[in-house]
Chain A
């Protein structure tokens, strides 16, 4: 596989805060990545660094094999849609559609028009007058219709209703199938996008907690439910990701189980259930928080 993004030892500090803390990873071509993490985990900063909107404090970034900072050749193949994008004063939706093709070579104007229709966006309205959701759909339309080989969506759907979000997921998958490209999507609506993602990067407090194929992540944990004593016996010395219980019942999340272990659990009268990507990530990031609090 071809690496589109290669990051080594990347750090970005704001004063005493390490927004991105000695991070290394690679992004492979033509995959959909989920960049997941809590608010303030460093997702936006990381994306701003990769798109050369901000400068790293330390470490190296290679996008399409080159340092992206002030490199037109690299940036022309990159599209970064962020939640807080600013627009020139008095710009209308149609002005965005008119100017975007000058900067994105693969821009598909017809497709953009269709998306405007799908999202019911008024073309003649000033950007300033748009609702939060409509503003988000402007970004989503640019991100999709630009068909940039490397597309970043940073929380692209703030304020979008469930229908509009579903349109976004559907269009993204359809268009991705026809025009493969690398997509990096940051979000905290993890369950909604979990079927979309092929690879998951979980970031917390500026560090990468998880860098794993999405399939592997989904199979990497199981929840065991049953009588407390039976559950405790079964879990034994395994690493526990999460535990909750009421009265004599316990529900414990542990790592992946072999088929043999599953039979053993069934024999002990325990129920096994899969863990959603969202639950898994909540547990992973919570754990690190507890560790952090204990060490503090």
Chain B
């Protein structure tokens, strides 16, 4: 046989190749795992000051009203949107980089998905712990609510964790699928995608309005509860994950 002077390296194990992509995403941990917490901490600080101000200027009756009113502040919703952006960046920027490192599209997508699951777990744990602390301290001693919000709350902390986990997964894979549309078809893909999405939403609203089924829609959310809705979201999450995979398999790293 021909003598080869260059050593052809044996192909690495498939799992190892996939996990290397996961590691690649987490090479720079700060923007992925630290920065969001710093922002969350700052939002918490601002909220805390506001609760403290309200407490300071109202009588007990007013304070009780305020507690009622503070059950939904949306202050922690930023972190879910941030993860959507993380997902978009991971696919849009790391995809051409990983291909430059001679990674297959398949390994890239699977490794990226592992990263999404790991980060979902990481942030779900943090959010659950904070929600637990918020309950234990009766709203940080001021009746405030930031991690534990109305509708979204379940008494069982384990279930609360599952709820957070499913929500994070939803945002990660929606972000991944959207970015995959961009990577595959660039700006034109985005125009068509958002046009279809808009029509779809308007269509559904029209459908619910004409059939006068808004009460049923409300009832569906009420009966399923947050956990039920979160479980239903898994179908959307799975659909997005699959769509992202199929699109990335045909995508090219263009400029």
Please give the residue numbers on chain A whose beta carbons come within 8 Å of chain B beta carbons, in ascending order: 2, 29-30, 48, 51-55, 64, 70-73, 75-82, 84-92, 95, 98-100, 102-106, 148-149, 179-182
**Minimum Cβ distance to chain B for residue A189 (Å):** 22
- If A90-B31, A149-B6 touch, whether A103 touches B93 (CB-CB below 8 Å) is no
User: How far is it, in angstroms, between the C-alpha of A157 and the C-alpha of B183 when the chains are bound?
Assistant: 27
Cβ of B106 under 8 Å from chain A: yes
* Inter-chain contact B103/A103, CB cutoff 8 Å: yes
Contact of B99 with A53 in the complex, beta carbons under 8 Å: yes
Whether A92 touches B102, Cβ cut-off 8 Å, given contacts A2-B4, A85-B97, is no
The CA-CA distance from A2 to B1 in the complex, in Å, is 10
Query: Closest Cβ of chain B: how far from A197's Cβ, in Å?
Result: 19
Choice from A30, A53, A71, A106 contacting B9 with Cβ under 8 Å: A106
Q: Is the CB of B12 within 8 A of A88?
A: no
Closest to A181 in B: B6
A-B contact pairs, 23 of them (CB 8 A): A2-B2, A29-B4, A29-B6, A64-B8, A70-B249, A71-B104, A75-B103, A78-B102, A86-B255, A87-B93, A87-B97, A90-B28, A90-B30, A91-B28, A99-B24, A103-B20, A103-B24, A103-B103, A104-B102, A148-B102, A149-B8, A180-B6, A182-B6
Task: Determine the residue in chain A with the shortest Cβ distance to B103.
Answer: A103
Residue-wise, chain B 233-255 has the 8 Å CB interface mask toward A (1 for contact) of 00000000000000001101101
- Complex CA–CA separation, A104 to B136 (angstroms): 50
Instruction: Check A77 against B255 for contact (C-beta < 8 Å).
Output: no
For residue B107, which residue of chain A has the nearest CB?
A: A72
Leading 4 A-B pairs by shortest Cβ distance: A105-B9, A103-B101, A75-B102, A102-B20
B104 touches A72 (CB 8 A): yes
Contacts of A105 in B (CB 8 A): 9, 12
Q: Is B216 an interface residue (CB 8 A)?
A: no
Name A's interface SS.
Answer: loop
Within 8 A of A (CB), among B81-118: 89-90, 93-94, 96-97, 99-107
Known: A53-B253, A55-B250, A87-B97. 9 other contacts (CB 8 A): A76-B102, A80-B102, A82-B100, A85-B96, A86-B93, A88-B89, A89-B93, A92-B28, A148-B102
Q: Which B residue's beta carbon lies closest to that of A81? A: B100
Complex alpha-carbon distance, A75 and B102, angstroms: 5
Residues from chain B with a CB closer than 8 A to the CB of A52 are 104
- What total of A-B pairs shows CB separation below 8 Å? 105
B27 within 8 A of partner (CB): yes
Q: Is B7 an interface residue (CB 8 A)?
A: yes
Select the residue from A72, A98, A106, A182 with max chain B CB neighbours within 10 A: A72
CA distance A85 to B4 in the complex (A): 30
Partner of B23, one of A51, A71, A102: A102
Contact B17 A88 (CB under 8 A): no
Flag if A89 contacts B102 (CB, 8 Å).
Answer: no
Q: Are B31 and A89 in contact (CB under 8 A)?
A: yes
Residue contact A88 to B103, C-beta cutoff 8 Å: no
CB proximity of A115 to chain B, nearest CB, Å: 17
Out of B11, B23, B28, name the residue touching A72 (CB < 8 Å).
B11
Please state if B102 and A79 are interface contacts (CB–CB under 8 Å): yes
Whether B211 is near chain A, meaning CB under 8 Å from some CB there, is no
Q: A54-B252, A88-B94, A102-B24 are in contact. Are A30 and B5 (CB under 8 A)?
A: yes
Contact indicator B97/A86 (Cβ below 8 Å): yes
Q: Which residues of B contact A87 (CB under 8 A)?
A: 93, 97
Whether A103 touches B102, Cβ cut-off 8 Å, given contacts A72-B11, A181-B6, is: yes
Cα-based distance from A277 to B86 in the complex (angstroms): 49
A85-B100, A88-B97, A103-B101 as given contacts; A95 in contact with B28, CB under 8 Å: yes
Residues from chain B with a CB closer than 8 A to the CB of A95 are 27-28
B 11-35 contacts with A by CB, 8 A: 11-12, 14, 17, 20, 23-25, 27-28, 30-31
A70 vs B250: C-alpha distance in the bound complex, in angstroms? 10
Q: Which residues of chain A are within 8 angstroms of B107 by Cβ–Cβ distance?
A: 72
Q: Is the CB of A73 within 8 A of B24?
A: no
**Neighbouring B residues of A76 by C-beta, 8 Å:** 9, 11-12, 102
Residues of B within 8 A of A30 (CB): 5-6
Question: CA–CA, A100 to B103, complex, Å?
Answer: 11
Least Cβ distance of A48 to chain B in Å? 7
